[in-house]
C-alpha cells in the first residue's frame, strides 16, 4: 500500500512538468524532403492504380502512413524553376529564369540574401544537409576565354594537356554559390548527373580533378547529354545508391545529437541518365525507365528504413514529391502499349503547362500529427513548404520572403478548406497556367512545351473538376471569366507576391504573356 501511495505521489509530482513540455515548447520535428526528378503523376502506383503498372511499394507505404495530395503542383514543367520555388517559397518567374533551366556552368539562381527552407531550419537550430542534385547554379571559376576547354554538344572530344591545365585551375578551387552558401551545413551530390562535371561534389569542391572527356559510348540510350570533363572511369550507375547511402549515414549520425535535423534529398532519378543497376534491369517488364522508377522506389525505402532504425521516424516529418512530370522522350508511347500511363489521367508530360507537366505526387507523413491513410484534394503548391515550416516552428516570415507560400498546416491537421485560392505553374517556354479553384487559364497556345496540340488556341480555359484531361477549351464561351483571371494574373505579377502583405519587387520585368512561337519539336523516344 505504501508503494502504491509513493508511486501515485511521484506521478503527480511529474505531471505539471510533462504538461509544460507538451504544450509550451514549439514543435521541432526532424524534416526529410525526398524530391524525385522527372517522376510522373502516374508513375506512383497509389496515384494510378488502374493505368499504372510500375510497382512502387515503398512510396505507396509512405502514402498509407500519411496524407496523399491529389492536386499538388510544382512551379514549372522543368527542373531548375521548380527547385528554386520549393526552396524559397517564391515563384521562379519573378527571377531572371523566365523560361528554360539554369544552363551549363550557369550562375546561381537563388540570390545571396534569399532565405531558403534550409536556411530557415538552420536559424531554428537544425543541422541541415542537401544530398543530391542541385541544378540551381554555382559560381564556377571558369574565365570566359577558357570556356572552349569545358566541352559542348560534340561527343567525340579528346582531352589534351591544354584541357587538363584549364580543368586543374578550375576544379582545384572552391566553387561558391552552391548549397552551403544557401542554408545547408552539408552538401554531397552531382550538380546535374547527365551534364559535366562528371564527378561528385562535396561541400564546395569537386571530389577529384576531372582529367578526361566522358567516353562517347556513355551518350547512347539516354545516358549523358552534354560532353565535358569527367573523372577517369566515371560511371553513372553508382550515383543513385551512393546518394541513398549518404542520406542514411547522415540520419544515423545526426540521430545521436540533441539538435533536430533537416535533409533535402533531391534525387537524380528517374531523370536521365537511365543508369539502372544490374539488380533492377528488366524488373518492371516494361522499359528501362520503368526499371529506374523501381530502383528509385527502393532508394526511398532504403532512406526510410534508415530513419526507422535510427529511432527518429516518429519524430520526423517526411515529404515526398517530384519536380515535374515524366519526360516524353524516354519512351512513353512504348510504355502505354504495355498499359503504363506515366501521366495517369492527365494531359501532357514534362515541359508542358498542361497538368501532366506539373501536377505531381505529394505525400506527407508526420506521425502523431497527420492522420494515416488520408487523402487531400485541395489545391497546393510546392511553394507552400516555406510557410508550412514557419508555421510549425512558430515563426512569422517577413514580407520580403516566401512571397508565394501558404501554410499547409490546416490541411495537415485534417481541415478540408482551401489554404490558397490560386496558383501559377509554367511550361518550359514560360507559358503560365493560372489556377483559381477548379478553373485553369493558360495564357498561350498549345502545351508551351514538347507536346503537340491546340497550337491554334491563343488562350485556353478548362474546368478541371469536369475535364481533368483538358480536352474542352471553354475560353470562347466564357470571355468574362477569362478577363477576370487575366486581371488576377496581372495583380499577382505587379504585386510581386500572391500572399497577403506589402507589395514586393520582382527581380526582372516579368514576361506578361508568352509570345506565339512554333510548337517545340517533340524529342525522339528511346530506341525500341
Domains of the chain, start order: 27-140+175-193+236-416 (3.40.720.10)
Closest C-alpha to 218, from 206, 230, 201, 200: 230
At 453 the pLDDT is 83
How far is it, in rounded angstroms, from Cα 90 to Cα 401? 8
Query: Would the pLDDT of 485 be above 50?
Result: yes
Q: Using one digit for the tens of pLDDT, what is the confidence trace for 164-215?
A: 999 999 999 999 999 999 999 999 999 999 999 999 999 999 999 999 999 9
SS (H, E, C) 500-528: CCCCCCCCCCCCCCCCCCCCCCCCCCCCC
Query: Would the pLDDT of 347 be above 50?
Result: yes
Find the mean pLDDT for residues 320-347. 97
pLDDT class of 25 with cuts at 50, 70, 90: very low
Lowest mean pLDDT among 138-152, 278-292, 491-505: 138-152
How far is it, in rounded angstroms, from Cα 36 to Cα 52? 17
At 27 the pLDDT is 76
Query: Would the pLDDT of 17 be above 50?
Result: no
Please give the full DSSP string across 227-258, using - where no structure is assigned: --EE-TT--STTHHHHHHHHHHHHHHHHTTSS
Match 537563388 to its residue by C-alpha cell.
110
Query: For 364, phi and psi rounded to 5 degrees?
Result: -130, 125
pLDDT class of 7 with cuts at 50, 70, 90: very low
At 511 the pLDDT is 87
The per-residue pLDDT of the chain, averaged, comes to 92
How far is it, in rounded angstroms, from Cα 272 to Cα 354? 22
Query: Would the pLDDT of 48 be above 70?
Result: yes
Provide the grid cell at 149. 576547354
Amino acid at each position: 500500500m505504501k508503494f502504491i501511495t509513493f508511486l501515485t505521489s511521484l506521478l503527480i509530482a511529474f505531471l505539471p512538468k510533462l504538461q509544460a513540455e507538451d504544450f509550451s515548447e514549439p514543435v521541432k520535428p526532424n524534416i526529410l524532403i525526398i524530391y524525385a526528378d522527372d517522376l510522373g503523376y502516374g508513375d506512383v502506383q497509389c496515384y494510378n492504380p488502374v493505368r499504372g503498372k510500375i510497382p512502387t511499394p515503398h512510396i505507396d507505404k509512405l502514402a498509407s502512413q500519411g496524407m496523399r495530395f491529389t492536386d499538388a503542383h510544382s512551379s514549372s514543367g522543368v527542373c531548375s524553376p521548380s527547385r528554386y520555388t520549393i526552396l524559397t517559397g517564391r515563384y521562379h518567374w519573378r527571377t531572371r529564369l523566365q523560361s528554360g533551366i539554369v544552363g551549363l556552368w550557369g550562375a546561381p539562381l537563388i540570390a545571396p540574401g534569399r532565405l531558403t527552407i534550409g536556411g530557415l531550419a538552420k536559424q531554428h537550430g537544425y543541422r541541415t544537409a542537401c544530398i543530391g542534385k542541385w541544378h540551381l547554379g554555382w559560381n564556377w571559376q571558369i574565365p570566359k576565354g577558357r570556356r572552349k576547354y569545358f566541352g559542348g554538344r560534340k561527343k567525340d572530344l579528346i582531352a589534351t594537356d591544354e584541357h587538363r591545365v584549364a580543368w586543374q585551375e578550375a576544379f582545384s578551387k572552391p566553387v561558391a554559390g552552391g548549397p552551403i552558401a544557401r542554408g545547408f551545413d552539408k552538401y554531397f551530390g552531382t550538380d546535374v548527373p547527365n551534364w559535366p562535371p562528371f564527378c561528385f561534389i562535396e561541400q564546395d569542391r569537386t571530389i577529384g580533378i576531372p582529367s578526361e572527356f566522358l567516353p562517347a559510348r556513355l551518350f547512347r540510350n539516354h545516358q549523358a547529354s552534354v560532353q565535358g570533363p569527367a573523372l577517369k572511369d566515371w560511371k553513372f550507375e553508382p550515383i543513385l545508391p551512393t546518394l541513398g547511402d549518404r542520406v542514411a549515414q547522415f540520419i544515423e549520425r545526426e540521430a545521436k545529437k540533441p539538435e533536430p535535423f533537416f535533409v533535402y534529398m533531391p534525387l537524380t532519378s528517374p531523370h536521365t541518365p537511365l543508369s539502372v543497376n544490374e539488380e533492377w534491369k528488366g524488373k518492371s517488364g516494361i522499359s528501362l525507365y520503368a526499371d529506374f522508377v523501381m530502383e528509385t522506389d527502393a532508394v526511398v525505402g532504403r532512406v526510410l528504413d534508415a530513419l526507422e532504425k535510427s529511432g527518429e521516424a516518429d519524430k520526423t516529418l517526411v515529404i515526398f514529391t517530384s519536380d515535374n512530370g515524366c519526360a516524353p522522350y524516354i519512351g512513353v508511347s512504348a510504355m502505354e502499349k504495355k498499359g503504363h500511363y506515366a501521366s495517369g489521367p492527365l494531359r501532357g508530360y514534362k515541359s508542358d503547362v498542361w497538368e501532366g507537366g506539373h501536377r505531381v505526387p505529394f505525400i506527407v507523413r508526420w506521425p502523431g500529427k497527420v492522420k494515416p491513410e488520408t487523402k487531400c484534394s485541395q489545391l497546393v503548391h510546392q511553394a507552400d513548404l516555406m510557410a508550412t515550416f514557419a508555421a510549425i516552428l512558430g515563426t512569422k516570415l517577413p514580407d520580403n520572403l516566401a512571397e508565394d507560400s501558404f501554410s499547409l498546416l490546416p490541411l495537415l491537421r485534417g481541415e478540408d478548406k482551401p489554404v490558397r485560392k490560386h496558383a501559377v505553374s509554367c511550361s518550359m517556354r514560360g507559358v503560365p497556367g493560372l489556377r483559381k479553384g477548379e478553373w485553369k487559364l493558360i495564357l498561350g497556345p498549345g502545351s508551351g512545351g514538347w507536346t503537340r496540340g491546340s497550337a491554334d488556341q491563343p488562350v485556353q480555359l478548362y474546368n478541371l473538376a469536369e475535364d481533368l484531361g483538358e480536352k474542352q477549351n471553354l475560353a470562347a464561351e466564357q470571355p468574362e471569366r477569362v478577363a477576370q483571371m487575366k486581371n488576377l494574373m496581372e495583380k499577382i505579377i505587379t504585386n510581386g507576391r500572391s500572399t497577403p502583405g506589402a507589395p514586393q519587387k520582382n527581380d526582372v520585368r516579368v514576361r506578361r504573356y508568352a509570345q506565339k512561337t512554333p510548337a517545340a519539336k517533340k524529342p525522339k523516344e528511346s530506341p525500341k
